[in-house]
Structure 1
Amino acid sequence: MTGAAGGAPLRMLVWPGMPAPEALERVAARLGVALDCETICTNEQLEERLLAGERWDLVTPSDFMVERLAARGLLAPLDAALLPGRDALAPWARRPAWDPAERWSVPLAFGTTGVLHDRERLPDAGSWRALLDPPPGVVVGLLDEPREVIGAALLAAGERFDATDERALAAAGELLRRGGRAVARVDSGDFVSPVRDGLVAAHHAWSGPAAAAVRADPRLAYSLPGEGAVVWVTTVAIAASCPRPALARAAIAALLDPELARITVEQHSYATPNDAARRLLPAELRDDPVLFPSPATLRRAITIRDVDPAAQARLAALWADVAAGAG
């Protein structure tokens, strides 16, 4: 991705379609600098690349990963006074539990995590068990997100989403291993086309692309299981390795421009926490209850928080076991 001439490229780790490539092109043009963007599909991939010593200017961690990266000294502090665009963010997106002083990150996108399913092949996805231990003959897909998958299994087993003790994880692991026979794929890059094309009856899904799929195909539905569902927030932050923090901060300010923020919603269907940008959207998107959950849904939703290293190790061991047995 290129912009006008002007020094070394600004290097950025992004999610597929978030921010939208066109928005990033406009940022590059405004700043007069090239953007060198690479894609990650999980928070763990982002973490691994920073821990490996790679130099990046901007990164896009989700909620709990902001906590972890900041604690490990992998993020540079922001100067909130130099980012007036924050004022356009919805009140619920300000001073989040995982960054209450707004020191490390700025929210770019948000959504829920639920189940995208074919209404005929899996009519009822009102429980996480429908996805994690489906009826015989029903094939499903999971996101490649350990915290999300294990958390869903914990809820289905009657435990807390954030439980990390051995007893609770054993219950979640038993459910995941039993349902592993039905898991055809574990992938966060594309969880829509496998359902749309009939490869799986249901897929663990993020609400943005799921909302677009449901609008386009009446066979499909998106459900939030009754045991509880996650609301996730993807942010933009400055990596500690960034040699030009002022330029990185200018890029963040550009991404907060409502005209640029709307592009990601319109082209890739990821909801924005930027209220000013939402007002610019066509009604079909602005009023979509899957894309923009109601305040009541947001209040009930679960926010993922980071856990201590010992708990991280237990979760990683369980995830390795689950991934090995999928399919």
Structure 2
Amino acid sequence: MASDRDTRPAVRIARLWEGANPRVTRRSMLRSMAFFAVAAQGLAACGVGEAPSGGDTGPAGATPASNDVDEPVLNFYNWTDYIDEETLPGFEAETGIRVTYDNFSSNDELEAKIASGAAGYDLVIPTDNFLRRFLRSDLLRPLDHDMLPNLGNLQQRFREADYDRDNRFSVPWAWGTTGLAYSPEQLGEDVTSLAGFDLPSARGRSILLDEARDGLALGLLALGHDPNTVEQSELDEAVAYLLELKGRLGQITSDVIEPLASGQAPLAQAYSGDVFQAQEINSDLVYVIPEEGGLSWVDVLCIPNDAPHAANAHRFIDYILRPEVGARLAEEIQYASPNEAALELIDPALREDPLIYPPADELARLPFTADLGAETEGRYADAWTRVKTG
């Protein structure tokens, strides 16, 4: 796996821990560009396009609803740039199941689509804090563990996670951190804190993530507040901070890979793996956890209540849980794998990188986005609307 991939040293990699070795990237720029060429040529094979609408179905693994559809189709809704190019063709070739593959750019976009009740998707990937929102709204069906023999490959921490203990409704896809990406060459200096947004060289060109909890967390952390605060006064302060920052930003978007890779954005709040992907094209990029702190998160596979092909969704989840498939996924997207059995197959340069697999002391200042309850989550949503529209 790793042996057949081009490697090269990253020119500049931020190091937050004394004595860490330079990270070796796992894909050349040509390999990255080849992905888009292969994807374009393979649209018909993978069935990329709008997923058809599906009817209401019952819980997977229980008694199937009478209108569950028995056909070799899987409608999959995933984040942009978040899959290995071999995953879907490999699954299709082995199972004969045709995958319709669509992308979204934010949890809010995903939630709106699934909550509409007419999306027809069989498999979606929300982030852990949105998983809890989906569960409160009864949008998901429980998993049938009898159909997931590879579930035991998960690391223990992901089988006992508070967001979904015992994996009743979800299986983790990948996990990572939220920090900053920047170009030392373009900015003219190193960035170690959120004060980097104040640099004249970043003015009008920097990016804030278009996610309520991530974007507001930046404002909260900059002001010394808990990114999981429940205090309205602190949320209001964060809104004021971000509205002032907004005047100096280039854009608010979660699609950061292309702007970072092309040099359009010299500074961005970003998810760790997105930065590592962009580094394959722009080796000047650096990823750091700012002095003020950041966030940890887990993206999870789950099956909507109205999924028309729930059995096929289970087959795909179990396929991803295979060690070799999970290892290829981790190497391609460059996010940390939750698959314990896959770790020994992952390129050591990735597996031993503390920016991807942070040590315990660093994780202590990278809390997960907590489930704050419907009322507080609503206040976060209102606060983010004020930032976006103000």
Q: Does 1:296 align with 2:296?
A: no
The CA deviation at 1:299 is: 4.1
Question: What CA distance in whole angstroms lies between the structure 2 residues aligned with 1:244 and 1:104?
Answer: 16
The CA deviation at 1:7 is: 2.1
Of 151, 160, 178, 2:226 maps to: 160
Query: 1:43 maps to which residue?
Result: 107
Q: Contact 1:31 / 1:251 at 8 angstroms: preserved in 2? A: no
Q: Does 1:320 align with 2:376?
A: no
Q: Does 1:80 align with 2:159?
A: no
Q: Give the match's secondary structure for 1:46.
A: helix
Q: Give the match's secondary structure for 2:269.
A: strand
Query: 1:199 maps to which residue?
Result: 264
Give aligned pairs, total: 321
Query: 2:199 maps to which residue?
Result: 135
Of 31, 34, 37, 2:98 maps to: 34
TM-score, normalised by the number of residues in structure 2: 0.76
Identity %: 29
The CA deviation at 1:150 is: 0.2
1:56 alignment partner AA: Y
Distance 1:187 1:307, change over 3 A: same
The CA deviation at 1:22 is: 2.2
Instruction: Render the CA deviation track for 1:31-58: whole Å, top value 9, x for unaligned.
Output: 2211111101111111100111122111
Moved more, 112-121 or 204-213: 204-213
Query: 1:66 maps to which residue?
Result: 131
TM-score, normalised by the number of residues in structure 1: 0.89
The CA deviation at 1:307 is: 3.0
Query: 1:126 maps to which residue?
Result: 192
Query: 1:306 maps to which residue?
Result: 371
Q: Does 1:109 align with 2:174?
A: yes
Q: Give the match's secondary structure for 1:98.
A: helix
Q: Contact 2:303 / 2:310 at 8 angstroms: preserved in 1? A: yes
User: Please, which runs of 5 or more residues in structure 1 have no aligned partner?
Assistant: none
Instruction: Render the CA deviation track for 1:294-318: whole Å, top value 9, x for unaligned.
Output: 2432344211123333323322222
Instruction: Render the CA deviation track for 1:162-189: whole Å, top value 9, x for unaligned.
Output: 1243201111011101111221012212
The CA deviation at 1:156 is: 1.2
1:12 alignment partner AA: F
Q: Contact 2:151 / 2:321 at 8 angstroms: preserved in 1? A: yes
Distance 1:81 1:229, change over 3 A: farther
Question: What CA distance in whole angstroms lies between the structure 2 residues aligned with 1:135 and 1:113?
Answer: 20
Of 285, 310, 317, 1:245 maps to: 310
Moved more, 293-302 or 47-56: 293-302
Of 68, 72, 75, 1:11 maps to: 75
Distance 1:195 1:58, change over 3 A: closer
Q: Give the match's secondary structure for 2:299.
A: strand
Q: Contact 1:17 / 1:264 at 8 angstroms: preserved in 2? A: no
Of 184, 188, 191, 2:254 maps to: 188
User: Please, which runs of 5 or more residues in structure 2 have no aligned partner?
Assistant: 1-42, 48-69
Q: Give the match's secondary structure for 1:306.
A: coil
The CA deviation at 1:216 is: 6.0
Query: 2:338 maps to which residue?
Result: 273
Q: Contact 1:122 / 1:201 at 8 angstroms: preserved in 2? A: no
Distance 1:214 1:294, change over 3 A: farther
The CA deviation at 1:215 is: 6.5
1:48 alignment partner AA: A
Distance 1:216 1:279, change over 3 A: farther
Query: 2:54 maps to which residue?
Result: none
